[in-house]
Structure 1
């Protein structure tokens, strides 16, 4: 039996609440290879049940958390170029910098 829209919304809210209730004070943060400690970078930590936490090295207290399904959708979208940025008019593109 398929979930109703209200049931899906309630389940997602429960998942989010459980994810943000996790104590992540002892997680190990990872960043892209080759980045220096003082460099601005995105860091991720692997959480239980395939979930992932993400933060900026410049603001380590502001942590976003994603379920396994959300993270998988993000990674697949990034691989497909869904998040590629268009250069702003009048500015040099990333490839030119």
Structure 2
């Protein structure tokens, strides 16, 4: 498995919240703060927050969407959001421990 941080998002791979990132729940979703970059961003829905939190508990990103009951019609939209979160460093490939 590639651990290259510049590798493109692949929904068949395991991901987790990046170690430098903290989520603060809010009614709209969550505030995302990256302590390494000092960047503040937002997750705009509670369901997306749940997906991001649950990534570490499932074998890959695609199965996480099923496990947290993301409607099948919305999978492409959520995978696109996860790709953006991967590109920004909010989520990262999970490595074997």
Task: Report the TM-score when normalising by structure 1.
Answer: 0.36
**Highest Rg: 1 or 2?**
1
Q: Relative contact order: is structure 1 or structure 2 higher (C-alpha 8 Å, sep ≥ 6)? A: 2
